[in-house]
Every structure is written in structure tokens, then in C-alpha cells.
Amino acid sequence: MLSLQHISKYYQVSGLKNFVLNDLSLEIDEGEFVSIMGPSGSGKSSLLNIVGMLDEPSEGYHYFAGHAVHQLKEKQRSALYKQYIGFVFQAYHLIDELTVYENIETPLIYQDFKGAERKAMVADILDRFNIVGKKDLFPAQLSGGQQQLVGIARALIAKPKLLLADEPTGNLNSKQGEEIMELFRKLNKEDGVTIIQVTHSEKNAEYGSRIINLLDGKIESSKQL
Amino acid sequence: MIKNYFKIAWRNLVNNKVYSAINILGLAGGMAVALLIALWVNNEYSYDKFLPNYGQLYQVWRNFNSNGETLTFSSTSLKLADALRNNFPEIEYAAETDGNGSHGLMVGEKKFYLNGSQVGSDFLKMFQYPMLQGNMKDALKDPYSIVLTKATAIALFGSVNVINKTVRIDNKNDLKVTGVLDDLPGNSSLQFKYLIPFAYMEATQAYVKQARSGSFGANAFLIYVKLKSGVSYSQLAPKIKNMEKGENNINAKNSEVILHPMRDWHLYNSWKNGVASGGFIEYVRIFSIIGVLVLLIACINFINLTTARSEKRAREVGIRKAIGSQRKQLIFQFLTESTIITFIAFLFSLLFVQIALTPFNALTGTTIGIPVQSAPFWLITISCVLFTALIAGSKPAFYLSSFNPVKVLKGTIQIGRSASYSRKILVVTQFSCSIALIIGTIVIYRQIQYAKNRPPGYDINRLLTTSSNSDLGKNYQALKDELLQSGAVQSITQASSPATDIYLHNNIDQWPGKFGGETIEMGVVYITGDYFKTLGMQVKQGREYTGIAADTLNLVFNESAIKRLRLKEPLSQPIQYNGNKMKIVGVMKDALMTSPFAKADPTMFVYSTYPQDNLIYRLAPNVNPHSAIEKISSIFAKYNPAYPFTYKFVDDDYNQKFSQEVLIGKLSGVFAALAICISCLGLFGLAAYIAEQRTKEIGVRKVLGATVSQLWFLLSKDFVMLVIISCIIASPIAHYLLQNWLQKYDYRITIGPGVFLVSTFVAIIITLLTISFQAVKAAIANPVKSLRSE
């Protein structure tokens, strides 16, 4: 599904290149559930951002669903991104001024879905996630676990092929974390969503089908479960 | 999508009430000022446009060559009127008039002194004022007819159905009402209460009848012409230019005939080198600029406050980008938001304008209203609102939408800091405009005060003027004796002009030292005995008139006139005037009878034994003016039974000369105050934001032992620096513009550094007051709280 070849990401600091990712190559197939691990500063989030097209690599080739991403213009990249990718954040990143319903609906608006269609899709996902009763609340009125649930619902609303999650349970207690992980596993197995998550927790990593360990911007090890 | 944007915008407004209020009120204030000025400017441009033939109407003027200098006069001869009417097929109609004069109208017991015009019979075919009664073709045919305005008809008869009723004029003749016009709107250049056929003047006054067969150069009347449709002035101009040149008369020989189009009458009425180059239009331009500036200041507030708050919005931008928004969608979203805010501000500004219109109209003497029913008005204002929204919203929109989602979501971007430089420039721009307006206001007021403090050269206090008429003229001696005897009046005289004006200008035929072909034109006032004594003017050389018979061949000039005649030893010098050989017996000190801002007019005072049009008298020093006037009134009633007693205080008339400057001063004062208010509103919001942004820093400093005053200084000094920079920028610009404005006054102040220092000081004080509230609030806050919140 996606292929990174010789990807580097660096910042120039007083003439010296400070590498975050260093000549990294990675292939991920459709249907995989990959957990990326590694110490702070090893480049996990940078890798995820590049995969998610929020950030561009300094060097290297990036192919996604048959497209050479490194050659695309912003508009095409945005179109590709909207069609295929959903993003879940550690800090949830819901829009404070919008209700649960409106937060989930927003990606559909950007993808030009018709009003009636949006309504049906949002109702469907609210139902699936069991948060129908919360649809008119604002993010500040929800617990962390509930907010992350909304965050995931929002990421999944447009039926992406690839779900990217940057420490999705980092701000949650262990019980809430487990629920989220169960949800991920279900999405991966039943709906066939490809998932890439960044995590610090061994336990959460083991929900995946492959664990990749990063160190100093390079893949240290890759383990199929 | 739009609905989503509206929601976000609305919730942001509601959640940040203080910030929203500052933003909306600031913008509303700016828009109200701009709208008010726009309405005023529109009113100034609307003059006479209601007349159907607006574009084809002209007034005839003369460019008079006075020793190489071109002076432009409106007074013209009846021969010129006839020649224009009869010899040029391009001219459809021409109408002569005496201008505007006061006459007594009487119906039964009702008597009024009202201003009206005596006009040629085609006048109403040219100026098609809406007629309620009668018709424009015949209304001015019969010499003994009169056309009233609605208000005059109602005042005289209590009704507008007054055709064929009679009005007695000047207690001499009965005129038949042949028409009633609707009242003239405020934006009509010509203002009169009634019209009388010019033929009536010819029938009743010998000098007018003589003038009809007089020559070019016998200038005493005004002429209006209407060109045939399709004919332009440029086609006619070369044909009429030299038509007076053949006359053997210096006034005619040196005159070129020109036309002044009606569309320029109101705004372009100041002549320079024979061209109506300026006038009121200059003020219209200045205020248009001020309106745009104040709106700009308000827009800058909006930009500043919105970008300052960008940190709060940055996360939202990041999320939206992460869930699929393109940059242009975000730009569109923020522009939608600014449009919503601008529209709310617009509604407020309409409210503000509606409230401000009453005092504004009182101040400017206009009758402006919001043209609620006019579609173009809404079209223009709403496009302006959209444009404002675009201007005010585009910077925040482009700036906010440019955030990198990875950085803002990680919180590694320091938005407030990176934007502060451009924000500073905007604050400086804003304050430069405000300070320039403050400087302008101070200078205008000082100029007015300077001219008001200028000694007028005669005593304007307790001095009154009453228009004379045939009864008063006949009974003058008895009136004078009785007034003096009553003890209410100290002194009385008659003159051809009131004390505050000079109606007549004429040429001196001969004087010692005259160059060949030279002409000198100066003000002429015909006076009777006691004139100088009554006005309180002082003799500089020689003597004033004593009333002896020989005085009719003696002349008294003022200093400026002597200077213009280049006479070193003026006394006893021979002067030829009006064909009479006369000699100079005295020189008076200059008096400011025309403009208090200009040099004194060169003036010649001619002694006359005939009654004159104006009675000028001074109240006795120790009488109560109120009871004195009652006494005077009863004496006037005895000698002038047909008319009500009317009078004017000369000091009121004199102060009237400052009215335009006072109006400009008041307006610029009001707008300067508003501009500074709006700027401060923005500063207040900005200071609140900065204080919020530096909460942690302030907490740490406080823990380390900083006092409240040190923290206050820390938070204030940046703003004070900005204001000082603004002053440095505003001062030279204001100096340049004001120096230009002052050039039009002969008698003017010099702009010293004091004005700029005072303005700077005022601006700094206002700035400190504005931001201190926020600074002190931040400084006295408990540091424990602010540090814990980190």
C-alpha cells in the first residue's frame, strides 16, 4: 500500500544537518497493523507525519497507493490524503467550538459530501461508537477517553484505508487505553483498515501485526507477530 | 460548509465577549465615521442635481484684467444679458437678476422682511423648481406678479391656494400671486423666499430702466443662461469671450465673458487666475481622506486583534488541515468570519450614525438622513462593507491559514512573537493618523483664535444694523433725533454697506502718479455723518467728514487704499472718481470689514447727503440692551409703520465670518477624538493580549521580587515607544499639510514645535491610561495562580 525509500528528514542547525530520519526505507501492505516504537527523539512522530503527508521529507521517495507522493502538488496530495488517510492524535485535537456531532462531520464537509449523506454517515458512526447521547456536547464536557473516541470517530468517518495514530492512548488511563486498542484491533480485522500507530507501551504495541523499533532515525528492528 | 463557518464564527464571538465587543465596536465606530462623512460628502455633491436642466445651466462671470492680475466678478450689465439672449442661438434662455435682497411683504396685518430675487421672465423655465400652483411659462410675465415658496405662502396666507391673491411689496405696490413653488431643498445653491419679475424693477426703479439701455461695463446685475441641449460651453466659449471688448469703457474693455457651470457653483467657488479652481471642494476632499483614514484605523484594529489572537486559533487551523482542509478553504473560512463581524459592525454603525445625525446636522447646518429607501445607497454601502471585510480579514486569513499543522499541533510555534513586527507597524500607522488629526485640530483652533484676537479696527460691541427703506430714509433725521434723545442710542449713521461687509467695488479714474492704462479698483462705502464716530474707527491722518457742504467733494480713504495708490503725502491730493474732481482730506486706520483672515480691503469712504441702505447705530454704554432694543423698536415703529423692526448685532455678523473655520475645527476635533478612541480601543485589546501572553513571565518576575510599578513600566514601555515613533512620523506630515492649509490666510499663525510636543504628550498620556489598566491588572495578579496554570 505504501512504500518509503531512502527517506531522510533533517534540519539545518548552524550549517550542520541534524537528522531526524536518516535514510529510512519501509514497506507497508494493505491490512497490516503496524506499531512503531522507540525512545524519545528517535523519529517516530516525524515518520508518521511523513506517511500522513502532514510533513515532507528532506530527501527520498514516497509512494502511496500507486502515486509518487514526492512529485505531487499540494492540491493533489490533499486530495489523496483526504481519500485515504485518517489521523488520531495523542491530545485528541478536537475543535473546541464545535459539538461532538459537528467535529465528526467536519472532514465530510471538506470532502464535499451532501448534507443528507453526511447526516446518515455521522449518525451511523455515533451509533457504532455508542456516543449518540453525547452528540450535542462540546469537547470540554467530555472525559479524555470519550474525547479520543470522538477523535477516532472523526478519523474514520470518511472510511479511510489507512489510520495513523500518534500515541492514541498517551493521555488516557489504562482501562480507557485498552478499550481504544480493542477498537483498533476490531477495525483492522473486521473492516480491513490498515493502521500505523506510534506508541510507548509494549502492551499496546502487541495489538499490532508488526512492531518496528526506531533508533536515531533508522529502523533498528522489525518484528512480525 | 458555510453553515459550519457561521457556527464557528458565532461561537467564537460569544465565547470571547470582551474581545468581540472591542472588535465590533471599534470597527462600527470607524464605519460610522466613514458613513457619516460619505453622507455629508454625497450631500455636498448633490447640490442642484434635483433640477432637470442641471447640466445646461450656467452663471455669467467676467474675468477682469487689473494690471495683469485676473479678478473674477459676477456683476454684469443688462446689455450683456440682452446680447447673450438675442445674438447666440446656442443660448436657449438668459435671465437677469438683482441677486438676493430683502423686501417687505405685507398681507393685511401680516408683515415680513424676507429675502427674494427679482428675475428675468424665463427664470422658471431654466430653473424648474417643483411648482405647486401656477405654471412656469406665465408665472413671471406680468411685471406686477410674485411667485412665493410654500413656506412664504403659508406664512402670509396660511394656505398654498393663493393664486391671484395680492401681496403688498415695500409698502408701495400690490403684486398678484401667480405661482407657488415647493420649498427649496437645503442642497439648492439659490435660496429665495419669493420671486418677482425683473420687469417690476424696471417699471418701478429709474436706475434699472436706465441700465437697460446702458453700456457693457455698467455692471450691477447677475445673469444666468441655459444652453440648448446638445450645446456645450466649450463650443460657445470662444464666441462670447471677447464680446465686451469693443465698448469704450475700461470695465468692459478689460473684461472677458465666461460661464460658470451650475455643477460647480457649490464646490468650486474660489477664483484664481480666472478659473474656479477651488473652494469648498478642498474641505470635501480633506474630510473624505479623514473618513478613509478613520476606517483604516478601525480595520487595523481588527487585523491586529485577530492576528494577536492567532495563537488561540492556531490549533484549530492545525486540526482542520490534519482532517483534510485545504489552505484556500481556511482562507475562505476566516474571510467568512471577518465578513460576519463586519456586517454586525455595520449594523451597529447604522445605529451610531442615526444617533449622531441630529447633532451632526446641527453642527454642519445640513439636513442629512440615512437614505433607507435608496437602492444605490445599500448597494454601495454593502459593497464597501464587503470590501472592508476583505481588507480587514485578509491579513489574518492568509496568516492564520499558513500555519504548519505539525508545528502548531505540537505547540512548537511561537505565533505571537513572530507576528509582532508587522503588528507594530500597524499600530504605528494607526497612531500616526490619530496624532496627525490631533495636531490638525490644535492648529485649526489656534488659527481661529488668532484671527479672533486680531483687533478689527472698529468696535463691534453694542453695534447694531437695520436695513433701511424709503420710509426710514425719508424720516431719518427725525428718527435719529428721537433715538439719541431716548438715551438708548449713543450714535447713529447710514452707509451703503453694513459694518461687516463692503458691497460696492469701483475704479478710481485719476490719481497722482497713475501709470498709463493702469486701473485701481477698491471698495467704496457711501456714508453719512457720524459714520466713523459710530463705528469707532480712528483717524490716522487729516480729518474725517464734518458735514460741511464741501465734504461731498472730499474723500477719506483707509491706510491700505493709500498704500495701493502709492501716495506718500496723501492729504489734499486730487482724485478723480465717477467723473468728479475730488481731494483727499483724511486717512483712517484700517478696519477689517470683510475677512478677518485677510489683509484689510483698500476702501474709499464717500460722503453722501442721500439716504443709504443700512442704518448702523451703537447702544449707549450703560443701558440694558434688552430694554434699549424695546425702546428703539417703538421709535422705529413710529417712523416705519409698514414693517416689523429687525436688527442684527454686528458682533454676531463678525463672528459669522469664522463659521466655516469653526465648523472645520469642530469636525476635525470630533473626528480626531473618534480616531484616537478607536485606536485606544485597539490598544486596549492588544495590551490585554500581551499581558495574557506574558502572564508566566510576569509571575516569575514577581516571585523574583519585581514591584508593581516595575512591571507596569515593563508592560508599558513598548507601547509608549510605538506612540513616540508615531509622533515622529505624524509631525512632519501634519506640518506640511497644515502649512499648505494656512497659505490661504493672509493673517495666519506660524506653526511652532509646541503643537507637536503637546500632541505627543497628549498621545502618550492617553496611551498610558489605556494600557495601564491591563498592565496593572497583570502586575497585581497573584503569581502563584499564573505559574500553576503552566
Chain B hits for A106, CB-CB cut-off 8 Å, are 4, 320, 323
**pLDDT for res B57:** 94
Task: Say which of B315, B324, B405 has its CB closest to residue A111.
Answer: B324
Q: End-to-end CA distance of chain B, in Å?
A: 36
Interface of A with B (CB under 8 A): 45, 49, 52, 54-55, 74-75, 78, 81-82, 87, 89, 91, 93-98, 102, 105-107, 109-111, 154-155, 158
Average pLDDT over residues A3-32: 90
What pLDDT is stored for residue B786 in this prediction? 63
pLDDT band at B363 (very low <50, low <70, confident <90, very high): confident
Going by C-alpha positions, the residue among B386, B394, B387, B406 that lies closest to residue B333 is: B394
Are A87 and B322 in contact (CB < 8 Å)? yes
Is there a contact between A94 and B320 if contact means CB atoms under 8 Å apart? no
Domain positions in chain B are 1-47+269-418, 54-265
List beta partners, residue B176.
B145, B166
**Closest by Cβ to A95, choosing from B1, B319, B410:** B319
Q: What are B649's strand-pairing partners?
A: B464
Of A45, A74, A98, the CB nearest to B8: A98
A72 chain-B contacts, CB cut-off 8 A? none
Q: What's the pTM value of the predicted model, to 2 decimals? A: 0.79
Mutate to test the interface with A, among B323, B401, B402, B408 (most CBs of A within 10 A): B323
Averaged pLDDT for residues A85-110: 87
**% of chain B residues with pLDDT over 70:** 98
To the nearest whole Å, the CA of A65 is away from the closest chain B CA by: 18
**Contact of A18 with A25, CB cutoff 8 Å:** no
Taking an 8 Å cut-off on Cβ atoms, the answer to whether B405 and A110 are in contact is: no
> Rounded to the nearest 5°, which phi and psi values hold at B86?
-95, -25
Choice between B79 and B790, residue whose per-residue pLDDT is larger = B79
Round the average pLDDT of chain B to a whole number and report it: 87
Q: Smallest Cβ distance to B326: which of A78, A87, A106?
A: A78
Name which residue leads in pLDDT, B400 or B195. B195
Q: Where are the domains of chain A?
A: 2-224
Q: How far is B7 from chain A (nearest CA, A)?
A: 8
- pLDDT 10s digits, B320-343: 888 878 888 888 888 888 888 899
CB contact under 8 A, B316 and A89: no
- Model pLDDT for residues B80-97, shown as the tens digit of each residue: 999 999 999 999 999 999
**CB-CB: which of B1, B15, B405 is closest to A109?**
B1
Residue B402 to residue B393: CA distance in whole angstroms: 14
- Residue B635 grid coordinates: 421709535
User: Per mean pLDDT, which range of A145-154, B417-426, B506-515, B734-743 is the poorest?
Assistant: B417-426
Residues of B with CB under 8 A from a CB of A: 1, 4, 7-8, 11-12, 15, 315-316, 318-327, 329, 404-406, 409-410
Do the Cβ atoms of B4 and A102 come within 8 Å? yes
Whole-angstrom distance, CA of residue A89 vs CA of residue A198:
10
- Using the predicted structure, report yes or no on whether residue A195 has a pLDDT greater than 90: yes
CA gap B119, B100 in Å, rounded: 10
Residue of B319, B331, B401 to mutate when probing chain A, most A C-beta within 10 A:
B319
Using CA coordinates, name the residue in chain A closest to B323: A107
pLDDT (0 to 100) of residue B411: 63
Confidence check: pLDDT of B253 > 50? yes
- Other C-beta atoms lying within 10 Å of the C-beta of residue B788: 9
Q: What is the pLDDT of residues B540-571, one digit of tens each?
A: 999 888 878 788 889 999 999 999 888 888 89
Q: Pick from A55, A93, A111: which is nearest to B319 by CB?
A: A93
Interchain CB distance below 8 Å, B324 and A82:
yes
DSSP state of A114: -
Mean pLDDT to the nearest integer, B266-280: 85
Quick one: pLDDT at residue A14?
Answer: 81
Closest CA relative to residue B541, chosen from B556, B527, B553: B556
Residue B315, all three cell numbers: 490549533
The answer to whether B121 and B135 are in contact (CB under 8 A) is: no
| Yes or no, beta carbons of B320 and A106 under 8 Å apart | yes
Whole-number Å distance between alpha carbons of B481 and B485 = 6
User: CA of B689, closest CA in chain A: separation in Å?
Assistant: 20
Q: Could you report the per-residue pLDDT of B740-761, keeping only the tens digit for each?
A: 889 888 889 999 899 999 999 9
User: Nearest 5°: phi and psi at B481?
Assistant: -60, -45
A53: which chain B residues are within 8 Å (Cβ-Cβ)?
A: none
Confidence grade of residue A207 (pLDDT, cut at 50, 70, 90): very high
Asked if pLDDT for residue B413 goes beyond 60, the answer is no
Taking an 8 Å cut-off on Cβ atoms, the answer to whether B324 and A98 are in contact is no
For B9, the closest chain A residue by CA position comes to A97
Model pLDDT, residue A215: 92
Residue B414 binned pLDDT confidence (cut-offs 50, 70, 90): low
d(CA B498, CA B464): 9
Which residues in chain A are contacts of B404 at CB distance < 8 A?
55
Q: Is the pLDDT of residue B659 over 70?
A: yes
Comparison of pLDDT for A195 and B788, the residue scoring more: A195
Q: Cβ B7–A97 below 8 Å, yes or no?
A: yes
Distance CA B679, CA B101 (A): 50
Q: Which of B7, B323, B406 sits opposite A49 (nearest CB)?
A: B406
Q: In what order do the strands lie in the sheet with A67-68?
A: A16-28, A2-13, A59-64, A67-68
Report pLDDT digits (tens) over B187-232: 899 999 999 999 999 999 888 888 888 888 788 899 999 999 889 9
Predicted local distance difference test score (pLDDT) of residue B788: 55
The letter for the amino acid at B531 is: Y
Mean pLDDT for B509-534 is 86
> What is the C-alpha radius of gyration for chain A, rounded to an integer number of angstroms?
18
Q: Please state the ipTM of this predicted complex.
A: 0.77
What is the number of helices (H) and of strands (E) in chain B?
A: 27, 25
Tell me the residue length of chain A: 225
Nearest Cα residue to B169 out of B190, B189, B196, B142: B196
Q: Is the pLDDT of residue B789 over 50?
A: no
Q: In whole angstroms, how far apart are CA B711 and each of A118, B210, B701?
A: 53, 87, 8
Structure confidence by residue, pLDDT tens digits, B112-140: 888 999 999 999 999 999 999 888 888 89
Query: B320 to chain A: which residues are within 8 Å by CB?
Result: 95, 106, 110
pLDDT the model gives residue B224: 95
**Nearest partner of A200 among A55, A58, A94, A44, judged by Cα:** A44
For residue B12, give the nearest of A97, A110, A154 by CB distance: A97
Instruction: Please list every residue in chain B whose beta carbon sits closer than 8 Å to the beta carbon of residue A95.
Output: 8, 316, 319-320
Number of residues written out for chain B: 790
Report the gap between the CA of B407 and the closest CA in chain A (Å). 10
- Residues A74, B405: C-beta atoms closer than 8 Å: no
* A150-190 pLDDT, tens digit each: 999 999 898 899 999 988 888 888 888 898 899 999 999 99
B6-56 pLDDT per residue, tens:
888 888 888 888 888 888 998 999 999 999 999 999 999 999 999 998 899
For residues A82-101, average pLDDT: 86
Closest chain A C-alpha to B332 CA, distance in angstroms = 12
Residues 6+ apart with CB under 8 A from B277: B268, B270, B271
Handedness of CA B396, B399, B403, B408 (dihedral sign): negative
Say how far apart CA B96 and CA B80 lie, in whole Å. Answer: 9
Closest-approach residue (CA) in chain B for A91: B409
Is B397's pLDDT higher than 80? yes
- CB A93 to CB B1 under 8 A? no
Q: What is the pLDDT of residue B790?
A: 37
Taking alpha carbons only, the member of B32, B175, B49, B82 closest to residue B671 is: B32
For the domain spanning A2-224, the CATH number is: 3.40.50.300
Interface probe, candidates A20, A21, A84, A87, chain B, greatest B C-beta count within 10 A:
A87
CB pairs under 8 A between A and B: 63
Picking from B547, B558, B576, B586, the residue whose alpha carbon sits closest to that of residue B502 is B558
A42 neighbors A214 (Cβ within 8 angstroms):
yes
**Chain B residue nearest residue A83, CA to CA:** B324
Task: Report pLDDT digits (tens) over B466-489.
Answer: 988 888 888 899 999 999 998 889
Q: How far is B402 from chain A (nearest CA, A)?
A: 13
Which among B7, B316, B322 is the nearest to A54, CB-wise?
B322
The whole-number pLDDT of residue B412 equals 59
Whether residues B320 and A95 touch (CB distance < 8 A) is answered with: yes
Tell me the mean pLDDT in the region B392-409.
81
Cell of B53: 436642466
Quote the CA–CA distance of B444 and B441 in Å, as a whole number. 5
